[in-house]
Amino acid sequence: MKDSVKIALITAALTGAFTVAASFATYWLTNKSPEMVYTLIGGPSFSSPEGAKRIFVLEVNNKGSKEIRNAFIQVSLPTGELSEVAADATAGVKISETRSKTEFELTADVLNPDDTVKISLLTTQQNNGPAPKVVARAPGITASDISNKPAKNNFIYIFSAVTTIAVLAQLLSSFVTSRYRKKNPKSGTSVTAREHSCFIFGACGLKNEIPYIGPSYRSAADLLMALSTDSDTTRIQALVALKALLLIGRVESSSLRVIKHHILQVSQSSFTEDEFNSIRATASEEKDDPVKWRININKFISEELMRLSLTLPDEVFAKLANKLRNPT
């Protein structure tokens, strides 16, 4: 499987996993238990013959997504008395109430999502007394005081959760891809086996054969094997090109075996194991230093062509040397 495909699959898998996580987060946020909250707001006090009077407004809301049954609300005044109390609720909500001079209690049968109970209080106290105490609850639920907290709705929570998950997915995807590329140096390399082979063919004076090079090192080696039977000149060029393929750092072991086999065939078994190991010991990655890699390949090819060409007849040697000097 190609490295680009592996990376794409990793990214797709991570994206899918986090998409599922986002779906669960959205489901959880939109399907959580009922949420009972209240706000108590006090107005300015004003003087009267009976004492300092002040108006308070209490609102109790169901901010969850399920109904609240048997809600209970109690408002008590530590000092002074409740001069007036008025209560109302969202249409359809049945409420019952009891009151004394210092305490007011209310029960509601069912509070659906977004239903509200509103209680207005007029208090009379000596000087500026404390605010009323509030207890709001239902079976299994205790209301939260959000009087001094900014209002947030489910959309904000969902948006924040999904955004956070998306960012985490991207970061984790980048991290995994980076780790994969570190463990697989071949991953992300832009130069292909055919491009490597094209450079080597050209350096060996085989530019006319470049259009026939296949996509792999093995196919390039097979083409060189076929070319080696054309003439003594092409035999030497093909042999040097085969050896130059060994200077490429990351070549699959199966391709190396094919290249080595073809070298033995073309050189008539004069290629030793020591020579093979010596060449492989100097192999390097093109992407590590593209310029240095090309210089080393060119130097190797020039030296090998010169050494092997000495076995050719003078006329053939001169023809090959001229071809290499003037590749066009």
| Model pLDDT for residues 70-109, shown as the tens digit of each residue | 999 999 998 889 999 999 999 999 999 999 999 999 999 9
**DSSP reduced 3-state for 64:** coil
pLDDT of residue 285: 87
**DSSP reduced 3-state for 136:** strand
Same domain as 178, residue 302: no
Same domain as 73, residue 21: no
**DSSP reduced 3-state for 220:** helix
pLDDT in tens, 143-181: 999 988 765 555 555 566 666 666 666 666 666 566 655
pLDDT in tens, 203-218: 888 989 999 999 999 9
CATH of the domain at 116: 2.60.40.740
Q: Give domain status of residue 220, yes or no.
A: yes
Same domain as 163, residue 140: no
Same domain as 175, residue 120: no
Tokens of 55: 């108006």
Same domain as 169, residue 221: no
Tokens of 52: 């300092």
Instruction: Count up the domains in the chain and report the number.
Output: 3
For the chain, what is the total number of helices (H) and then of strands (E)? Answer: 9, 11
Confidence check: pLDDT of 279 > 80: yes
Mean pLDDT of 38-51: 85
pLDDT of residue 146: 92
* Nearest alpha carbon to residue 327 among 196, 206, 240, 242: 206
Q: Which residues of 159-187 are buried (b: 16+ CB within 10 A; e: fewer)?
A: eebbeebeeebeebbeeebeeeeeeeeee
CB-based contacts of 87-93 (< 8 A; 24+ apart in sequence)? 87/117, 87/118, 87/119, 87/120, 88/117, 88/118, 89/115, 89/116, 89/117, 89/118, 90/114, 90/115, 90/116, 90/117, 93/117
Tokens of 64: 């969850």
Kindly give, in sequence order, each residue whose CB lies less than 8 Å from that of residue 320, ignoring residues fewer than 6 positions away. Answer: 205, 233, 236, 237, 305, 309, 312
Whether the predicted model's global pTM rises above the 0.85 cut? no
State the pLDDT confidence band at 18, using cuts at 50, 70 and 90.
low
Q: Give domain status of residue 233, yes or no.
A: yes
Q: Give domain status of residue 188, yes or no.
A: no
Rounded to 5 degrees, φ, ψ at 59 are: -120, 130
State the pLDDT confidence band at 67, using cuts at 50, 70 and 90.
very high
Q: Give domain status of residue 146, yes or no.
A: yes
Same domain as 168, residue 27: yes
Percent of the chain residues past pLDDT 70, beyond the cut: 73
Whole domain around residue 60: which residue ranges? Answer: 36-151
Same domain as 277, residue 304: yes
The helix (H) or strand (E) run that includes residue 107 is strand 103-111
How crowded is residue 280: how many other Cβ atoms within 10 Å of its Cβ?
15
Same domain as 260, residue 320: yes
Cα–Cα distance measured from residue 58 to residue 145, given in angstroms and rounded to the nearest whole number: 11
